[in-house]
Amino acid sequence: MSPYLRGFLITLFGVLVISPDTLLIRLIEADHWAQLFWRGTLSGLAVLVGIAVVTRGRGLQPLLRPTRADLLMAVVYGSGNIAFVYSATHTLVANTLFLLSTSPIFAALIARFVLKEAVGMRTVLTIAATIVGIAVIASGSLGGGGGTIEGDLAALWAAIALAVTFSIARRQKGRSMVPAMGAGAILAGLTAGALAPTVMIPEGDRIWMGLMGLWVVPVAFACLTTGPRYLPAADVGLLMLLEAVFGPLLVWWVLGEDPGPRTLLGGAIVLGAMVVSNLWLLARGQRDRRLARRT
């Protein structure tokens, strides 16, 4: 199996595993703070235990002497988890996932204004189209379309947090950020536990919580941090968009949640912009490779 095919299959599997995440959040009747406590602690512990087993404990050494990047990663990743669950429980699932799919745009803005990297016309046009899509989605929430502006803003923060974590990982190429992300998940869980009226969840929710905390989040997390190492950024971007398609469809099929016309229109604009942007990037990469072979 070629490295590309291996990366493609691992990433695709991760996307398919994470797609029911928002459905599980909706199926759980417990308070969102209680959900966050169990989701964060279970998934974080699963990731750290997995690292310890695979690396015989060596992979956890960065947590003994954390750098500023490790601490920032843990805080940002943890806050993104909190924002994601809050959004999924306070607005339409379609809003949450469509807005979360804008994380590459925020990553591009961070690259331009923080990392001082050049941003091309492709990125500028994608940002412009995405802003239009976000505005359409927000107009549906303000107009009583089923979403809430608070949930939409939380989804945007989750997208920003995801972009920041990717940017930190890019800057720390010689250091694994996975332990810090596992610690960040536990930090989110403990923070939610301190704010929750109770961390007890109904007996009927426990199977869904166990499935989410011990399988969906950690397995998808492992795949989505491993597979993209073997793939071009454009391929990863296209695969990640599948969650924004499958997630709302699952919630609509199981729970009958209708996203509404404005959410669908805004989501189509956002996803369309991302698809065109990544196809543009793929075409440019193929052209560059052909030119390199000729020379």
Percent of the chain with pLDDT over 70: 97
How confident is the model at residue 113, as a pLDDT?
Answer: 79
CA torsion sign for 85, 86, 88, 89 is positive
Distance (Å, whole) CA 266 – CA 288:
33
The tens digit of pLDDT for each residue in 113-141 reads: 777 777 778 888 888 899 999 999 988 88
Provide mean pLDDT across the span 228-236: 73
DSSP label of 61 = G
What global pTM score does this model have?
Answer: 0.88
Q: Bin 146: left if φ > 0, else alpha if -120 < ψ < 50, else beta.
A: left
How confident is the model at residue 295, as a pLDDT?
Answer: 67
- Strand extents, DSSP E, the chain: none
Distance (Å, whole) CA 58 – CA 179:
11
Numbers of helices and strands, H then E, in the chain: 13, 0
Q: Mean pLDDT in the chain?
A: 88
pLDDT-derived band at 44, boundaries 50, 70, 90: very high
Helical (H) or strand (E) element with 191: helix 178-195
pLDDT of 143 > 80? The answer is no
Distance (Å, whole) CA 267 – CA 221:
24
Provide mean pLDDT across the span 89-112: 89
CA torsion sign for 267, 268, 269, 273 is positive
How confident is the model at residue 233, as a pLDDT?
Answer: 66
pLDDT of 260 > 70? The answer is yes
pLDDT of 269 > 80? The answer is yes
The tens digit of pLDDT for each residue in 49-64 reads: 999 999 988 989 889 8
pLDDT-derived band at 75, boundaries 50, 70, 90: very high
How confident is the model at residue 26, as a pLDDT?
Answer: 94
pLDDT of 285 > 80? The answer is no
Other beta carbons within 10 Å of 72: 17
pLDDT-derived band at 234, boundaries 50, 70, 90: low
How confident is the model at residue 124, as a pLDDT?
Answer: 84
pLDDT of 69 > 80? The answer is yes
pLDDT of 170 > 80? The answer is no
pLDDT-derived band at 168, boundaries 50, 70, 90: confident
